[in-house]
A and B are shown apart, each in its own frame.
Chain A
Amino acid sequence: MATEMVPHTALTLVDQLPAFQILASFLAAPLIVVLGSRRLAWPIAFIASAMSLIVALMLLSQVMDGTVISYRMGGWAPPLGIEYRVDAANAFVLVLVSAISTLILPYARTSFGKEIPLRHHTAFYAAYLLCFSGLLGVTITGDAFNVFVFLEVSSLSTYVLIAMGAERDKRALTAAYDYLIMGTIGATFFVIGIGFLYMATGTLNMADIADRIVEQGGNRTIRAGFAFIVVGIGLKVAMYPLHRWLPNAYTYAPSAVTAFVAATSTKVAVYVLLRFIFSVFQPNFLFEFNTLEYIILPFALIAMFAASFVAIFQSDFKMMLAFSSIAQIGYILLGIAFLTETGVTAAVVHLFNHGITKAALFMAVGAYVFSANGSYYDTIQGLGRRMPLTSAAVVLAGFSLIGVPGTAGFVSKWVLVQAALEKGWWPVALLIVASSLLAVIYVWRVIEVLYLRATPQGCQVREAPASMLVPMWIAVLACIYFGLNTDLTIGAAETAARGLMSGSAGMR
């Protein structure tokens, strides 16, 4: 066989950025294990994460104007080779994931010190970096099967991270086991869906699949593939009623893990859902249109109410936030189900805003666990005076969770209500406001417990150390900054939504 001679073109370092995005943390993880040094593990993890953040910011600045970067992994041209594809939608998610990770690592160092025995620390940072690089990989790749592989890299390490909470509460083990079973079923459904798409189109490159689906129109194989992919990713998103793994997994995982996983992994899964619904499949297919309007929309509304309602009656701060996460995912899915540009903009903005809000709140929970050794309401009652900085962070981030004007949560809910009114669905707009009122109740309960109750006698609780307070307050200030200055978030989200809504044309 004659080998085709391809002229060698030298790539600059900037051209290699998409590969670098994954590699920094992917190579650092085995490095930590091989070195086996407890002292070096944290600095390596932090440097890898910070480098990823810088790369993600550089990529975002390149694609903000709507251009698309296509990177050929190993020099093999798509559709045969694996392609990494960066556009406004996933550059935005890359920045979110790597920023949260870089923020949480300094926090994690103090928090893990108390929650996880020292001998597990090196393995812990390796698993953390694998989870992190898996999430980045899912986001950046343009190859459908590659999504599955990275999804499993991140999921498997997430199960390990959650199970590490067993030192504090043995229920972490059963929570991790349940998540493993459900997550694997979800991932396997996703692979079956990709198998059906491969059957129908003979390709795995997402842009190529999209083109061929347009050519041949909808048929039963493609519809079966769509159904399997939506259910499979729905499990990872914790789409109501596939959310059962989430509350226990979030509650019993170590605090820093909860903060990282809650802020990133479901958000990345939402991004995959967006990518498949809008770029790979065409939203104007009747089948997909019906799925979104008659299945995802009602379930999103149920999630907003049912999960918020359950959150009100929790007696553990962390469990309450876990249920509130399910409700907030309902808002994001609602935005997607509108199938309009404003709706998708709302979904992408809320994905980002809810990510930083939940990161701040779960970091605050970790501070209570660190100082008061628990997050039950009776353990933290009256701590508003004992831990003023942490409690003030809870109040501000809680406002963002409700959607009080001036915070990030308000911006995304405003866009969401706008999207509902644009479609003329005013009852849905009313329901969004009504479910925010439920959020007022559960956030108020925490504020009441913190500030209006007497501190138990002989309470020796002190404020959490600065290494935990600084990352927490950066996240809180980000909630307020993105609530006042909306140019960056809404601008990037609008570019992303335009790219997604233009279907497969937006993929090149």
Chain B
Amino acid sequence: MQAFDWDFIVGHMNYWLFIVLMMTGFYIVVAKGNLVKKIVGLNIFQTAVFMLYISIGKVTGGTAPIFPLDMEVDPAVTYSNPLPHVLILTAIVVGVATTSLGLALIVRIREEYGTIEEDELLKIEKEIALQDIRQHSEVIGERG
């Protein structure tokens, strides 16, 4: 058993990149305070999954899964698996819908709050919450 299996590492290049992309995207979603940047991170995160699926579909030595025009399939030819590609088409559509909805929400948030930075939004919401408590806490206050 080789300690450093070069063939294994290069042979699974797609999967390594999938992990790198996925973690990059995930990190951006968690760490960045700008709402638009979060959506970009989400996009990278989803793109990583597309890469995973398309990698699954690859068959070694396989060619594009397209029928010849005369519909006579040569059994000697290996084709790649087209199913994951089709699934990913669906997932891409879902991703586009998510991105557009997210951006639309950001526009509305900007209109209402005047900012799209998470820390400023939190500050504004904290103030609203404090006001609510001051205004509505008589019920609790009487208790003490």
A interface residues (Cβ-Cβ under 8 A, vs B): 1, 145, 148-149, 152, 156, 159-160, 163, 166, 170-171, 173-174, 176-177, 180-181, 184-185, 187-188, 191-192, 195, 198-199, 204, 315-316, 376-379, 381, 449, 453
Contacts and interface: CB of A to CB of B under 8 A. Distances in A.
A381 B138 CA distance: 11
B13 interface: no
Prevailing SS type, chain A contact patch: helix
B77 to A, nearest CB: 14
Contacts of B139: 315, 377-378, 381, 449, 453
A454 B137 CA distance: 16
Contacts, number: 98
Nearest to B113: A170
Interface of B: 22, 26, 29, 35, 38, 42, 45-46, 49, 52-53, 56, 67, 71, 73, 83-84, 87, 90-91, 94, 97-98, 101-102, 105-106, 108-109, 112-113, 121, 125, 128, 132-133, 135-140
Contacts of B67: 1
Contact of A156 (B26, B87, B98): B98
Given A1-B73, A152-B94, A156-B97, A315 B140 contact: yes
A440 B45 CA distance: 44
A168 to B, nearest CB: 12
Given A195-B52, A199-B56, A156 B108 contact: no
Contacts of A315: 132-133, 136-137, 139-140
Contacts of A145: 87, 90
A173 B87 contact: no
A187 B90 CA distance: 13
A163 B108 contact: yes
A171 B45 contact: no
A377 B56 CA distance: 55
B109 A191 contact: no
Nearest to A146: B90
A146 to B, nearest CB: 10
A39 to B, nearest CB: 27
30 contacts: A1-B73, A148-B91, A152-B94, A152-B97, A156-B94, A160-B101, A163-B108, A166-B108, A171-B128, A174-B113, A174-B125, A176-B105, A177-B106, A180-B101, A185-B26, A192-B52, A195-B52, A195-B53, A195-B84, A198-B84, A199-B56, A204-B83, A315-B140, A316-B132, A376-B136, A377-B136, A377-B139, A378-B135, A379-B136, A453-B139
Nearest to A199: B56
A192 B49 contact: yes
Contacts of A181: 29, 38, 42, 102
A171 B113 CA distance: 9
A188 B56 CA distance: 17
A185 B45 contact: yes
A449 B98 CA distance: 42
A198 B56 contact: yes
Contacts of B128: 171
Given A192-B49, A195-B56, A177 B105 contact: yes
B59 to A, nearest CB: 12
A148 B94 CA distance: 10
B98 A184 contact: yes
